[in-house]
């Protein structure tokens, strides 16, 4: 994700327009930034009183399952059901894929033997 312009640069651009009286197109060429960017900064300053960049939102989606202890109990209770059936039993709208991701997140498994088996074969050893 692209980083926002620094506050120092934003300040210089706004001052060049408001204090020095330069035109937006001249300031755009001088600082090598888009005129649309300048318009956005001026609009933000008019609305909020400052032209700080908006906080970055990390990529991802809003998680529909937030109470993980409750989901663990749900998985213990309905762990024998399919993911589609579990999605229908869970409160609110949720997909089977979301149930799958959540089960993976809490490390829930349906295997009878959760730990992997150890290989008991021996390497060939020559007797001399």
Give pLDDT tens digits for 68-86: 899 999 999 998 889 999 9
Per-residue pLDDT, 54? 83
Per-residue pLDDT, 128? 58
DSSP single-letter state for residue 113: S
41: nearest Cα among 77, 20, 16, 70:
16
Give pLDDT < 70 ranges for the chain: 1, 59-62, 111-128
All residues at 6 or more sequence positions from 59 whose CB lies less than 8 Å from its CB, including other chains:
1
Distance CA 61, CA 5 (A): 25
Q: Which helix (H) or strand (E) holds 7?
A: helix 7-18
Quick one: residue 49, left, alpha or beta (phi over 0 = left, psi -120 to 50 = alpha)? Answer: left
Tokens of 82: 């399919």
């Amino acid at each position: 994700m692209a980083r926002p312009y620094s506050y120092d640069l934003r300040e210089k651009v706004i001052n060049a327009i408001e204090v020095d009286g330069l035109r937006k197109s001249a300031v755009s060429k001088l600082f090598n930034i888009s005129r649309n960017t300048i318009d956005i900064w001026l609009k933000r300053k008019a609305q909020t009183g400052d032209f700080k960049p908006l906080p970055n939102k990390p990529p991802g989606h809003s998680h529909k399952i937030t109470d993980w202890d409750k989901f663990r109990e749900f998985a213990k209770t309905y762990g024998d059901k399919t993911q589609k059936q579990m999605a229908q039993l869970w409160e609110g709208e949720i997909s089977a894929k979301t149930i799958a991701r959540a089960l993976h997140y809490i490390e829930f498994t349906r295997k009878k033997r959760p730990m992997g088996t150890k290989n008991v074969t021996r390497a060939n050893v020559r007797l001399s």
